[in-house]
């Protein structure tokens, strides 16, 4: 049976109305940003968090190396960011660097928001109250201009900028001529490293190496034992140099870091830890004569030499363990 005309007309009107409603809803969704093709992208952040820690590679004949930190500055093209690192009493913060050796550290700036961009220099302000306690007495620890000037950093949007200032005291401590009561702390042995780009190296040294006949030149077998860490592999052992600033042989290879070797009475082994090494291949050499190595002079082979040399690699944020024997 055919439907009456008015029934068909009502059906058509309902269909058209339904279509118009759908079109209206779709148009509204587009106008409200419902279409993925026209959605706005989130804004790129223009800040990031900055953290700074302090660690140390120790030196012989020092029982305390106390540095009083006053402030930290990041110098950039648009000005500078200054961080007050004084203690809770408002006094410069005293840190004994020898308490934070190897992988140990102390944080002096923690999770502080700063603008992104390139900072050309980091400066550590220290005070004249700093001092060092050595075997023969206590000395003033002097920093040129009371400020350590280090390399700059690049701060990326939304990425934590976590860094560590690594003090290699064997390189940075200098006994100046004509100033008997003062030891200089110079920036040449102080490095600024990004925490996510460095790893650590630890290991053991056999007692046979510590008791080698070459070690008879010193009075105490537990003093002056150290590993020298050189970047690279397939290095000529004859060119592995001491810690001199200006080697007599221009082809001589200088160590990136030096780590003291200590006797662990619990495990009855000689052990070492070197932290904050950039991910790379390394050549590691042990000497029992490190106490004769002076940073201001180039020691001859009859005074300073190595008893063992090995090669290894360090990966970022990981520890590598080795044994020298």
Strands (E), 156-239: 161-168, 173-174, 182-185, 190-194, 198-205, 226-231
Q: What is the mean pLDDT of residues 146-159?
A: 95
pLDDT of residue 300: 80
Tokens of 60: 């012989």
Q: Identify which of 305, 236, 227 has the alpha carbon closest to the alpha carbon of residue 262.
A: 227
The two beta strands, 62-76 and 131-134, are antiparallel
User: Could you tell me the pLDDT band of residue 316, with boundaries at 50, 70 and 90?
Assistant: very high
The DSSP code for 246 is: S
Rounded to whole angstroms, the Cα distance separating 290 from 170 reads 10
Q: Identify which of 256, 59, 259, 293 has the alpha carbon closest to the alpha carbon of residue 170.
A: 59
Residue 203 has pLDDT above 60, yes or no: yes
Rounded to whole angstroms, the Cα distance separating 153 from 107 reads 18
Residue 166 has pLDDT above 70, yes or no: yes
Rounded to whole angstroms, the Cα distance separating 280 from 315 reads 7
pLDDT of residue 190: 95
pLDDT of residue 16: 40
Number of helices (H), then strands (E), belonging to the chain: the values are: 3, 21
User: Could you tell me the pLDDT band of residue 60, with boundaries at 50, 70 and 90?
Assistant: confident
Rounded to whole angstroms, the Cα distance separating 234 from 211 reads 27
Rounded to whole angstroms, the Cα distance separating 211 from 181 reads 36
pLDDT of residue 297: 84
Residue 77 has pLDDT above 80, yes or no: no
Helix (H) / strand (E) containing 78: none
pLDDT of residue 178: 85
Chain-centroid distance of CA 243 in Å reads: 20
Q: How many CB atoms lie within 10 A of CB 224?
A: 23
Please give the residue that has the higher pLDDT: either 156 or 158: 156
Q: Tell me if 173 sits within 8 A of 64, measured CB to CB.
A: no
Residue 134 has pLDDT above 70, yes or no: yes
Task: Indicate if the alpha-carbon torsion angle 193, 50, 96, 315 is positive or negative.
Answer: negative
User: Could you tell me the pLDDT band of residue 38, with boundaries at 50, 70 and 90?
Assistant: low
Rounded to whole angstroms, the Cα distance separating 145 from 106 reads 24
pLDDT of residue 37: 54
Q: Tell me if 53 sits within 8 A of 108, measured CB to CB.
A: yes
The DSSP code for 104 is: -
Percent residues over pLDDT 90 in the chain:
72
pLDDT of residue 301: 81
């Amino acid at each position: 049976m055919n439907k009456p005309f008015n029934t068909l007309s009502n059906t058509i009107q309902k269909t058209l109305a339904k279509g118009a409603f759908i079109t209206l809803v779709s148009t509204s969704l587009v106008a409200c940003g419902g279409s993925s093709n026209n959605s706005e992208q989130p804004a790129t952040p223009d800040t990031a968090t900055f953290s700074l820690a302090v660690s140390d590679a120790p030196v012989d004949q020092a029982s305390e190396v106390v540095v009083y930190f006053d402030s930290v500055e990041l110098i950039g093209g648009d000005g500078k960011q200054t961080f007050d690192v004084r203690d809770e009493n408002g006094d410069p913060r005293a840190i004994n660097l020898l308490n934070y050796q190897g992988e140990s550290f102390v944080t002096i700036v923690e999770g502080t928001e700063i603008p992104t961009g390139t900072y050309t220099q980091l400066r550590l302000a220290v005070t004249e109250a700093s001092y060092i306690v050595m075997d023969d007495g206590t000395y003033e620890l002097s920093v040129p201009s009371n400020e350590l000037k280090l390399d700059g950093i690049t701060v990326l949007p939304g990425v934590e900028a976590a860094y560590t200032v690594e003090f290699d005291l064997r390189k940075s401590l200098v006994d100046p001529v004509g100033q008997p009561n003062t030891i200089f702390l110079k920036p040449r042995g102080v490095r600024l490293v990004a925490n996510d780009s460095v790893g650590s190296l630890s290991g053991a040294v056999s007692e046979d190496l510590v008791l080698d006949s070459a070690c008879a030149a010193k009075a105490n077998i537990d003093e002056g034992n150290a590993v020298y860490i050189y970047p690279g592999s397939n290095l000529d052992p004859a060119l592995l140099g001491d810690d001199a600033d200006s080697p007599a042989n221009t082809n001589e290879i200088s160590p990136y870091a030096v780590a003291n070797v200590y006797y662990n009475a619990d495990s009855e082994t000689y052990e070492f830890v070197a932290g904050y090494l950039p991910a790379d291949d390394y050549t590691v050499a042990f000497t029992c004569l490190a106490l004769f190595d002076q940073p201001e002079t180039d020691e001859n082979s009859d005074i300073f030499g190595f008893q063992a040399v090995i090669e290894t690699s360090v990966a970022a944020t990981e520890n590598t363990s080795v044994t020298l024997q």
